[in-house]
Copies of this chain bind each other. A is one copy, B any other.
Amino acid sequence: MRSRLKLIVSYDGASFSGWQSQANRNAIQDHLENALQRICSEPVRVHGAGRTDAGVHALAQCAHVHLPSRRYEPDRWVYALNGILPPAIRVMRCRFVSQAFHARFSAKGKTYRYRIWNAAVLPPFENDRAWHVVNPLDFDDMVVAAKEFCGEHDFASFSANRGTPETNTVRIIRAVRLRRAGPCISIEFDGDGFLYKMVRMMVETLVRIGLNKLSRQDIKARLGHPQKVISRGRIAAPPDGLFLVRVRY
Contacts and interface: CB of A to CB of B under 8 A. Distances in A.
Contacts of A92: 121, 123
Interface in A90-104: 90-93
A214 interface: no
A89 interface: yes
Interface stretch (A42-50, A124-132, A150-158): A124-132
B88 A124 contact: yes
Copies of this protein in the complex: 2
A48 B88 CA distance: 32
A90 B11 contact: no
Contacts of A201: none
A87 interface: yes
A235 interface: no
Given A87-B127, A88-B127, A127-B87, A78 B121 contact: yes
Contact of A10 (B59, B93, B123, B129): B123
A123 B78 contact: no
A89 B124 contact: yes
Interface of A: 10-12, 57, 59, 75, 78, 82, 87-93, 120-125, 127, 129
27 contacts: A10-B123, A10-B124, A10-B125, A11-B124, A12-B124, A12-B125, A12-B127, A57-B125, A59-B123, A75-B120, A78-B120, A78-B121, A82-B121, A87-B122, A87-B124, A87-B127, A88-B124, A88-B127, A90-B121, A90-B122, A90-B123, A90-B124, A91-B121, A92-B121, A92-B123, A93-B121, A125-B129
